[in-house]
């Protein structure tokens, strides 16, 4: 074996020193990430809200004589009120509906009507549903006692959903505050974003940053905005019609609207329930309202999307469901936007064509 030379010793010392430095930097980065991890999702959501509200903030700032901070505060308060007031009304309907059901059950006034004849004809599950429904109409207490394990499972799941929704609401309030801060300092934020994009991707970084902004704004307006409008209007209609737990159905309608399924798969069973339990006038009015709300996306999406975001439905679906499973209610929105943004940037990178190499001056003529 050759003896170790001073050059080899110097190389090993530099390698060990470089490794120690990289390890310390990695440890510091991991520590910083662990500290800021609870704020990542609200910050992303706040950035999405700020980008979506930026045009409205610009108009409000101009109307207030060029005061960005005051415009940001007013817009944050209006956003919070516009979203939280309907949510509070719908969540209150859930509690009121549960209280009424418990009171009627304890007083023996809760009666289950017999199932219609077509229920038994449903494929695969028709006989089971018809049998349980008839048992519940004859003796509700006994039917609930036999279904107690399934009821406990459902209550456990609903408890988890309620806890996640509570955390999501707190994150949403925090996100609105972050959006207000970003809008109040939009000039500095824009310069910082462009600087980061330029450092990250060079000259194309600015183009990608503009593409990201346009994509977030389009998705926020055309997908999330329309979904929230549909869910709020549908929930208010169900609340006015006296549908039990209208707030819960409105949340489910929001999920279906975000993943581009629409509210009709949920609205049809509610209409059937209303047909058997409410007056004819209430059913007709709810039917007309459901048709209007369920079709409103055909009018709003072309208006709010502008030029549109050409994204496959599978991308939106996977982003919304994956975000919901990973981060709860707020992840439903963030997941859809982030995955659509990543898809658009990936497509833009694929479409990029390298400049053709210049032909050498001594190339033979063809």
Tokens of 138: 């004859």
Least confident range of 89-93, 199-203, 220-224, 361-365: 361-365
Structure-token match 């997941």, residue found? 335
Q: How far apart are CA 355 and CA 359, in angstroms?
A: 12
Tokens of 150: 């399934």
**What is the torsional sign of CA 344, 346, 350, 352?**
positive
Q: How far apart are CA 40 and CA 331, in angstroms?
A: 11
Burial of 157 (0-12, 13-18, 19+ CB in 10 A): exposed
Q: Is 360 helix (H, G, I), strand (E, B) or coil?
A: coil
Q: How far apart are CA 72 and CA 57, in angstroms?
A: 7
Confidence band, pLDDT 50/70/90 cuts, at residue 162: low
Write down the pLDDT at residue 28. Answer: 93
Rounded alpha-carbon distances, angstroms, from residue 31 to 22, 28, 35, 42, 56: 14, 5, 6, 19, 38
Does residue 7 lie within any of the structural domains?
no
Percentage of residues of the chain with pLDDT beyond 90 = 4
Tokens of 111: 């009666």
Least confident range of 51-60, 80-89, 187-196, 288-297: 80-89
Mean pLDDT of 103-128: 70
Q: How far apart are CA 310 and CA 347, in angstroms?
A: 11
Q: How far apart are CA 101 and CA 132, in angstroms?
A: 19
Residue 180 or 126, more confident: 180
339 pLDDT more than 60? yes
Q: Is 242 helix (H, G, I), strand (E, B) or coil?
A: coil
Q: Is 358 helix (H, G, I), strand (E, B) or coil?
A: coil
CB-based contact 254:248 (threshold 8 Å): no
- The count of structural domains within the chain is 1
Write down the pLDDT at residue 358. Answer: 45
Write down the pLDDT at residue 341. Answer: 74
Structure-token match 């409410």, residue found? 278
249 pLDDT more than 70? yes
Q: How far apart are CA 137 and CA 153, in angstroms?
A: 23
Does residue 16 lie within any of the structural domains?
no
Averaged pLDDT score across all residues of the chain: 76
Does residue 355 lie within any of the structural domains?
no
CB-based contact 279:246 (threshold 8 Å): no
Mean pLDDT of 3-32: 84
Does residue 4 lie within any of the structural domains?
no
pLDDT tens digits, residue range 253-296? 877 787 667 788 888 888 888 887 888 888 889 899 988 888 88
Residue 328 gets the label, from left (phi > 0), alpha (psi -120 to 50) or beta, of: left
Write down the pLDDT at residue 63. Answer: 87
Write down the pLDDT at residue 31. Answer: 92
Most confident of the ranges 4-18, 22-36, 92-106: 22-36
Percentage of residues of the chain with pLDDT beyond 70 = 74
**Using the 8-state DSSP alphabet, how is residue 190 labeled?**
H
CB-based contact 216:337 (threshold 8 Å): yes
Tokens of 298: 């055909």
> Of 86, 95, 47, nearest to 330 (Cα)?
47
Structure-token match 């939009």, residue found? 186
pTM value is: 0.60
Residue 77 has a CB neighbour count (10 Å cut-off) of 12
Tokens of 91: 């969540």
Could you tell me where the beta strands, DSSP code E, fall in 226-356?
none
Confidence band, pLDDT 50/70/90 cuts, at residue 315: confident
Tokens of 303: 């208006």
Q: Quick one: which H or E segment has residue 325? A: helix 313-327
Which domain covers residue 94, as residue numbers? 39-350
Write down the pLDDT at residue 361. Answer: 46
Write down the pLDDT at residue 360. Answer: 45
Tokens of 246: 């209208």
Mean pLDDT of 181-202: 81
pLDDT tens digits, residue range 195-239? 887 887 777 777 777 777 776 777 777 777 788 888 888 888 888
Structure-token match 């955390």, residue found? 167
CB-based contact 293:238 (threshold 8 Å): no
Write down the pLDDT at residue 106. Answer: 65
Write down the pLDDT at residue 345. Answer: 75
CB-based contact 207:349 (threshold 8 Å): no
Structure-token match 């039990």, residue found? 244
């Amino acid at each position: 074996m050759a003896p170790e030379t001073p050059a080899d010793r110097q190389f090993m010392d530099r390698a060990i020193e470089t490794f120690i430095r990289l390890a310390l930097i990695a440890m510091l980065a991991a520590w910083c990430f662990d500290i800021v991890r609870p704020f990542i999702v609200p910050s992303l959501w706040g950035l999405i809200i700020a980008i979506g509200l930026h045009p409205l903030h610009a108009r409000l700032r101009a109307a207030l004589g060029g005061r960005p901070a005051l415009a940001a505060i007013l817009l944050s308060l209006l956003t919070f009120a516009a979203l939280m007031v309907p949510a509070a009304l719908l969540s209150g309907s859930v509690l009121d509906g549960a209280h009424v059901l418990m009171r009627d059950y304890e007083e023996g006034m809760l009666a289950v009507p017999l199932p219609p004849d077509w229920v038994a004809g449903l494929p695969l599950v028709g006989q089971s549903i018809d049998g349980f429904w008839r048992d519940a109409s004859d003796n509700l207490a006994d039917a609930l006692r036999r279904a107690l394990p399934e009821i406990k499972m459902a209550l456990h799941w609903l408890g988890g959903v309620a806890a996640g929704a509570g955390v999501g609401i707190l994150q949403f309030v925090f996100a609105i505050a972050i959006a207000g801060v970003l809008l109040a300092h939009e000039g500095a934020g824009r310069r910082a974003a462009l600087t980061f994009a330029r450092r990250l991707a060079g000259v194309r970084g600015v183009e990608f940053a503009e593409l990201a902004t346009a994509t977030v704004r389009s998705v926020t307006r055309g997908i999330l905005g329309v979904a929230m409008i549909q869910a709020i209007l549908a929930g208010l209609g169900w609340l006015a019609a006296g549908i039990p737990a209208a707030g819960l159905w409105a949340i489910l309608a929001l999920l279906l609207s975000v993943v581009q399924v629409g509210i009709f798969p949920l609205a049809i069973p509610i209409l059937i329930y209303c047909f058997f339990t409410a007056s004819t006038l209430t059913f007709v009015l709810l039917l007309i309202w459901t048709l209007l709300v369920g079709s409103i996306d055909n009018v709003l999406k072309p208006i709010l999307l502008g030029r549109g975001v050409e994204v496959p439905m599978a991308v939106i679906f996977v982003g919304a469901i994956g975000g919901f499973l990973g981060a709860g209610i707020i992840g439903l929105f963030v997941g859809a936007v982030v995955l659509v943004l990543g898809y658009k940037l990936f497509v833009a990178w694929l479409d990029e064509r390298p400049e053709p190499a210049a032909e050498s001056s001594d190339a033979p003529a063809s």
